[in-house]
Structure formats: structure tokens, C-alpha cells
């Protein structure tokens, strides 16, 4: 059995070796017959990233994926907090429907929810005299934020319930009210456990924005497929690798940070 | 909601399409779950050997598949393997056709995606075995294999069941994405039906309910398994 230090060092060395090999492979293919193909990918890169050929104005592409993910996450956070609170309510008429809704949204495939939202939501609605137009982007944001909210509600519930019951009892014996216990004792501790889950949920949501292609918005997968329809077949793999790497390099740091935070909070389960 | 019209459901043709779709969804889910679990087990076994370079490669595999969209992975497998030369000659027409059909490439990509998730789940289970338990077992004279067989596996397999439930339900839900590469599963059948009847809202609501019921059944079954294997002091069963 290797010592821990040596093990970690060897592991890092292997990762570096893989990175160098990949780079070498890229360089090799660039000087080999892959050069023209990579040039095509590079020429189309502004289109894939921003949705317009010159890179400005931003009309879609990977930037739209990021936009959708951020807005959906914001909406999901608000809805998830409300749903999470409702799921922990003492009143049964509030708790039971909330749990039912959470289970429904969590057990439905993201793609099917997204597709349903596409048809369920009207093209425009009028609320308090203001006219709301539901563009495909708005519909995909709503469709993606619903399952995310359900997952976030479950994360909140898990974090709050993982706080030891003794904390409740001692806080109550000190004369705190129910709301005060939440605000001063439970939430500060729960927040530390919610944040890693929230971050990895964001990474998951970002990955799922690729599904928005079914609603026909000009995000990166839609653009990829229309681009490939114009290009020759031999460039296929280069384009796919480029888009896969886009997602990987965006989501991996987030997932890594989430894991690190999670490991930090692992010890304090009192 | 008013005005829902489900009369098309009485048509035996549509019933058959839906049933066939459910069948293929289940088939896809079962095959890819089995392969995913096998991949997860083999990789976790390899991780316990603590071979640094192998562990680094497994970690890279997990991160690569966890941080890219499964939809894109599926498209990648379906379209690029053909281009890389994985083709066979069609015995009837004599033309080159893809080695993997849409169904097979969906299975391959779902297995790899699920496998990556399974490695994570199993590994966290193995890490949940307390260090003190391992030290105690080693002090009692267990060999490396005996430790693994009698201590690590019985504890870890119980601890990782909730995580496995998550992975398998996630994998089941992901099968719906293979409709994009024309695998004729439930979601694809839904598309066929509403193209025929123009009843998009009703069809999608029905499919949503079918998926929720199937996934809930799966989750319920696995939670029963969890309760069956509950182990005092570990996980929720304590």
C-alpha cells in the first residue's frame, strides 16, 4: 500500500500526463490532416459561443445556455425555498400537497417537463392588465426551473432535517420562539450544507440546458446541428468534441468547488 | 383544465404505440442500468486497489461524463462512431450502415453516463465505512480480501443504496432523451401520436403522468430494498 502523499502525487502526475497527451494529440491532428477541420471549427466558434458569426451581438449559442441556466437557477432558488418551507410546515394541508408536488416534479424527466411546458403555457397571458409574452426562451426557463426547484426544495429539507434534534430542544428551552430558532440556530448551520448542493444542482441545470434544443431556441446544440447540416461529414467529430468541451470546462470547476465545500462541511454533523 | 380531449386514447393504434414506447423505455432502462451497475462495480473495485494512475483515469472518466450533457453524449455516439469507421455492410442492400443502431448507441451512451454516476455512488458508500471499523477489523487479523468481503462490502452496499436510487431514477429519466436520436421509446411515441392527432397538450400530460408513475414505482421499490437491508447505525435504517 502506497503512502497517502505518494498516492496523491502519482494521481496528479497521471492527470498531468493525460492533459499533455491530449494537447499533443490536438497538436498532432492540427499538423496532420485534421488541420483544415480544426480551422473550420475555429471559424464557427463565434457562432457556437454567441449565436452570431462575428461574435457580436450575442443572440444565442453557449452564451444563451449560460443565460438560461442563471435565470432558471434564480427562479428555482426562490420557488425551491418556498416549496421547501411548505414541505416542513406543521400544517398538513400545506405540507402534503407540497410533498406531492415535489415528488411529481422530481420524478418527471426534465425533457418531458420541458416539452410539456412548451405546450402547456399559452403564447401570451394577461395578468393585472400587463401582457406577458412567452417566448420559447421563457418557456424553456420555466420548464427547466420547475424540476430544479423541486430538487432544491429536497436539498433544503435534507439540510434542515440533518440538524440534530437536540439543537431544537435546547433552543426551545432557552426561550426562543419557533421563528427565532429557525433564524438564529437552524438556518445558519443549514446554509453551510445547502450551498454545496445548490452549486452541484447548478452544474446539473447547466448540463440540462442542452435540452432546450427541443423548444427550438438558438442555443448551442441547435446551432451545432444546423451547422453540421452545412458542413461535410468528416468535421462532425471535431464539432462535437468542441461543444462537449465547452460544457465540461464550464461545469467542471463548479462541480469541483461544490465537492470541496461539501468535504469541508462533512465533519460538522452534530 | 377545461377542454381536455382524451377520445384518441380509445384508438387501438395509439394504445399500441404507447405500449410499445413504454416497452422500449423499460428495455433501455433495464439494459443501461445493468451495464451502469457493472461499470460502477468494476471501477469501484479498481479504486480499492489504490493504483494511482488507474484511479486518476477513473476519476477523469467520471468527471467527463458527469459534466457534459447526456443528450450531447448520445448525439456524439450516434453520429460520430459511423464517421470513425465503425460501419458494417448491410446484407440486403450492400450499403455501409452504422455498426450501432439508434437503440444500441443510446444503450452505450446511457450505460457510460450511468456508470460514471454509479462509480460516484459506490465510492461514497465505500468512503462511508468508518476508518475505526477498518482498523478494528485489521487488528482482528482480517486479510485484505477478507476485510473487503466481510466488512467493507456489507456496510458500503447498504450505505450506498439511497445514492443508487438517485442514480437509477436519474438514468431512467434520461432515457427519454434518446427520442432525439430516433429511438422509438415513450417520448418518441408521444411525438408520433400528437403529430397524428394534434392533441399535444393531452398527449404530453399523459406521458408526463406515465413517466412519473414509472419512476415513482422504481423509487418505491428501491426504498423497500433499503428498508429490507437496513442496518442499525448506518444510513436511514438506524
Tens of pLDDT, residues B9-37 = 888 999 999 999 999 999 999 999 999 99
* Residue A134 · residue A209 · CB < 8 Å: no
pLDDT of B229 reads: 84
**Is a pLDDT exceeding 90 seen at residue A237?**
no
Q: Would you give the distance in Å from CA A16 to the centre of its chain?
A: 27
Burial of B13 (0-12, 13-18, 19+ CB in 10 A): exposed
pLDDT single digits (tens) B84-94: 777 777 777 77
**Is a pLDDT exceeding 90 seen at residue A83?**
yes
Backbone angles phi, psi at A267, to 5 degrees: -70, -30
**Is a pLDDT exceeding 70 seen at residue A2?**
no
Cell of A54: 462575428
Q: How far apart are CA B40 and CA A119, in angstroms?
A: 38
**Is a pLDDT exceeding 60 seen at residue B105?**
yes
Which of the four pLDDT bands, split at 50, 70 and 90, describes residue B7?
confident
Within the 224-253 window of chain A, which residues sit less than 8 Å (CB to CB) from chain B? 225, 228, 233-234, 236-237, 240, 243-244, 247-248, 251-252
**Is a pLDDT exceeding 60 seen at residue B162?**
yes
CB contact under 8 A, A10 and B52: yes
In this complex, the residue of A7, A9, A15 whose CB is nearest that of residue B50 is: A7
Percent of chain A past pLDDT 90, that is, above it, reads 46
pLDDT single digits (tens) B34-78: 999 999 999 999 998 888 899 999 999 999 999 999 999 999 988
Closest-CA residue in chain A for B188? Answer: A112
Q: Which of B87, B115, B86, B133 is nearest to B174 (CA)?
A: B115
Residue A259 contacts B, CB cutoff 8 Å: no
Residue A18 contacts B, CB cutoff 8 Å: yes
Closest-CA residue in chain B for A203? Answer: B67
Residue B208 contacts A, CB cutoff 8 Å: yes
In this structure, the dihedral spanned by the alpha carbons of residues A78, A218, A117 and A70, taken in order and rounded to 10 degrees, is: -10
**Is a pLDDT exceeding 80 seen at residue B132?**
yes
B/e letters for A115-143, b = 16+ CB within 10 Å, e = fewer, are bbbbbbeeeeeeeeeeeeebeebbbbbbb
**Is a pLDDT exceeding 60 seen at residue B177?**
yes
- Cβ atoms within 10 Å, residue A161: 12
CB contact under 8 A, B80 and A237: yes
Mean pLDDT for B173-192 is 92
Percent of chain B past pLDDT 90, that is, above it, reads 56
Closest-CA residue in chain A for B74? Answer: A240
Mean pLDDT for A143-157 is 95
Mean pLDDT for B215-235 is 84
DSSP A219: B
* Residue B70 · residue B177 · CB < 8 Å: yes
CB contact under 8 A, B212 and A108: yes
Mean pLDDT for B172-184 is 93
Place of cell 494537447: A23
**Is a pLDDT exceeding 90 seen at residue B96?**
no
- Cβ atoms within 10 Å, residue B178: 29
- Top mean-pLDDT range of A42-51, A90-99, A118-127, A132-141: A90-99
CB contact under 8 A, A251 and B67: yes
Which has the higher per-residue pLDDT, B86 or A25?
A25
Q: How far apart are CA A267 and CA A179, in angstroms?
A: 27
Shortest Cα distance from B59 to chain A (angstroms)? Answer: 9
Residues of B in contact with A233 (CB under 8 A): 83
pLDDT of B237 reads: 41
Which of the four pLDDT bands, split at 50, 70 and 90, describes residue A135?
confident
Q: Which of B202, B133, B211 is nearest to B172 (CA)?
A: B211
Residue A11 contacts B, CB cutoff 8 Å: yes
pLDDT of A123 reads: 77
**Is a pLDDT exceeding 70 seen at residue A260?**
yes
Q: What angle do CA A211, A214, A215 make, to 5 degrees?
A: 110
pLDDT of A236 reads: 85
Q: What is the ipTM of this complex?
A: 0.89
Which of the four pLDDT bands, split at 50, 70 and 90, describes residue B95?
confident
In this complex, the residue of B50, B68, B208 whose CB is nearest that of residue A1 is: B50
* Residue B119 · residue B62 · CB < 8 Å: yes
Closest-CA residue in chain A for B171? Answer: A109
Residues of A in contact with B106 (CB under 8 A): none
Closest-CA residue in chain B for A233? Answer: B83
In this complex, the residue of B50, B57, B69 whose CB is nearest that of residue A210 is: B69
State chain B's mean pLDDT as an integer: 88
Shortest Cα distance from B203 to chain A (angstroms)? Answer: 9
Helix intervals (H) in chain B: 12-48, 52-66, 70-83, 102-127, 131-139, 144-147, 153-159, 161-174, 186-197, 200-228
pLDDT of B238 reads: 38
Q: How far is CA B84 from CA A43, A128, A240, B27, B103, in A?
A: 23, 58, 13, 28, 19
Residues of B in contact with A228 (CB under 8 A): 79
Residue B145 contacts A, CB cutoff 8 Å: no
Residues of A in contact with B216 (CB under 8 A): 103, 107
Residues of B in contact with A18 (CB under 8 A): 56-57, 60
Closest-CA residue in chain B for A254? Answer: B67
Which of the four pLDDT bands, split at 50, 70 and 90, describes residue B201?
confident
Which has the higher per-residue pLDDT, B197 or B96?
B197
Partner residues linked to A125 by β-bridges: A132
**Is a pLDDT exceeding 50 seen at residue A134?**
yes
Which of the four pLDDT bands, split at 50, 70 and 90, describes residue A41?
confident
Cell of B221: 421499490
Mean pLDDT for A193-199 is 93
Q: Which of A231, A147, A31, A198 is nearest to B173 (CA)?
A: A147
Closest-CA residue in chain A for B64? Answer: A248
pLDDT of A240 reads: 92
Residue A263 contacts B, CB cutoff 8 Å: no
pLDDT of B82 reads: 74
pLDDT of B193 reads: 92
**Is a pLDDT exceeding 70 seen at residue A269?**
no
pLDDT of B235 reads: 52
Residues of A in contact with B84 (CB under 8 A): 237
pLDDT of A267 reads: 60
State chain A's mean pLDDT as an integer: 88
pLDDT of A1 reads: 53
pLDDT of B24 reads: 95
pTM, rounded to two decimals: 0.90
Amino acid at each position: 500500500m502506497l503512502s497517502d502523499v505518494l498516492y496523491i502525487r502519482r494521481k496528479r502526475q497521471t492527470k498531468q500526463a493525460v492533459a499533455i497527451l491530449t494537447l499533443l494529440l490536438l497538436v498532432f491532428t492540427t499538423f496532420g490532416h485534421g488541420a483544415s477541420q480544426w480551422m473550420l471549427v475555429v471559424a464557427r466558434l463565434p457562432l457556437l459561443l454567441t449565436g452570431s458569426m462575428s461574435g457580436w451581438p450575442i443572440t444565442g449559442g453557449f452564451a444563451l445556455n449560460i443565460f438560461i441556466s442563471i435565470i432558471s437557477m434564480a427562479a428555482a432558488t426562490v420557488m425551491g425555498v418556498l416549496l421547501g418551507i411548505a414541505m416542513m410546515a406543521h400544517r398538513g394541508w400545506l405540507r402534503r400537497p407540497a410533498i406531492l408536488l415535489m415528488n411529481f416534479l422530481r420524478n418527471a424527466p426534465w425533457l418531458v417537463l420541458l416539452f410539456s411546458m412548451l405546450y402547456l403555457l399559452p403564447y401570451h397571458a394577461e395578468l393585472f392588465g400587463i401582457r406577458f409574452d412567452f417566448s420559447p426562451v421563457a418557456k424553456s426557463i420555466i420548464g427547466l426551473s420547475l424540476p430544479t426547484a423541486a430538487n432544491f426544495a429536497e436539498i433544503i429539507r435534507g439540510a434542515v432535517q440533518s440538524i440534530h434534534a437536540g439543537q431544537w430542544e435546547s433552543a426551545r428551552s432557552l426561550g426562543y420562539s419557533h421563528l427565532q430558532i429557525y433564524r438564529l440556530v437552524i438556518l445558519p448551520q443549514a446554509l453551510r450544507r445547502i450551498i454545496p448542493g445548490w452549486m452541484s444542482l447548478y452544474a446539473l441545470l447547466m448540463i440540462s440546458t442542452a435540452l432546450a434544443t427541443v423548444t427550438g431556441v438558438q442555443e448551442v446544440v441547435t446551432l451545432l446541428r444546423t451547422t453540421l447540416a452545412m458542413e461535410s461529414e468528416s468535421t462532425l467529430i471535431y464539432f462535437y468534441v468542441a461543444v462537449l468541451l465547452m460544457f465540461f470546462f464550464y461545469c467542471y470547476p463548479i462541480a469541483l468547488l461544490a465537492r470541496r465545500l461539501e468535504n469541508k462541511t462533512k465533519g460538522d454533523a452534530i | 383544465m377545461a377542454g381536455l380531449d382524451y377520445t384518441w386514447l380509445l384508438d387501438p393504434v395509439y394504445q399500441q404505440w404507447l405500449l410499445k414506447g413504454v416497452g422500449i423505455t423499460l428495455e433501455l432502462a433495464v439494459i443501461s442500468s445493468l451495464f451502469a451497475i457493472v461499470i460502477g462495480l468494476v471501477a469501484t473495485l479498481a479504486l480499492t486497489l489504490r493504483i494511482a494512475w488507474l484511479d486518476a483515469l477513473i476519476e477523469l472518466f467520471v468527471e467527463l461524463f458527469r459534466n457534459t450533457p447526456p443528450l450531447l453524449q448520445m448525439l456524439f455516439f450516434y453520429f460520430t462512431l459511423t464517421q470513425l469507421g465503425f460501419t458494417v455492410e448491410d446484407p440486403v442492400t450492400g450499403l455501409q450502415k452504422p455498426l450501432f443502431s439508434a437503440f444500441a448507441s443510446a444503450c452505450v451512451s446511457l450505460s457510460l453516463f450511468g456508470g460514471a454516476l454509479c462509480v460516484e455512488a459506490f465510492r461514497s458508500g465505500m468512503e462511508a465505512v468508518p476508518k475505526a471499523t477498518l482498523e478494528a477489523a485489521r487488528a482482528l487479523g482480517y486479510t485484505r480480501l477478507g476485510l473487503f468481503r466481510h466488512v467493507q462490502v456489507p456496510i458500503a452496499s447498504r450505505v450506498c443504496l439511497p445514492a443508487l436510487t438517485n442514480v437509477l431514477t436519474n438514468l431512467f429519466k434520461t432515457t427519454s432523451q434518446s427520442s432525439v436520436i430516433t429511438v422509438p421509446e415513450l417520448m418518441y411515441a408521444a411525438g408520433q401520436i400528437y403529430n397524428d392527432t394534434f392533441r399535444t397538450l393531452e398527449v404530453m400530460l399523459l406521458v408526463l403522468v406515465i413517466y412519473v408513475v414509472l419512476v415513482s414505482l422504481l423509487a418505491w421499490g428501491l426504498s423497500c430494498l433499503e428498508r429490507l437491508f437496513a442496518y442499525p447505525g448506518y444510513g436511514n435504517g438506524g
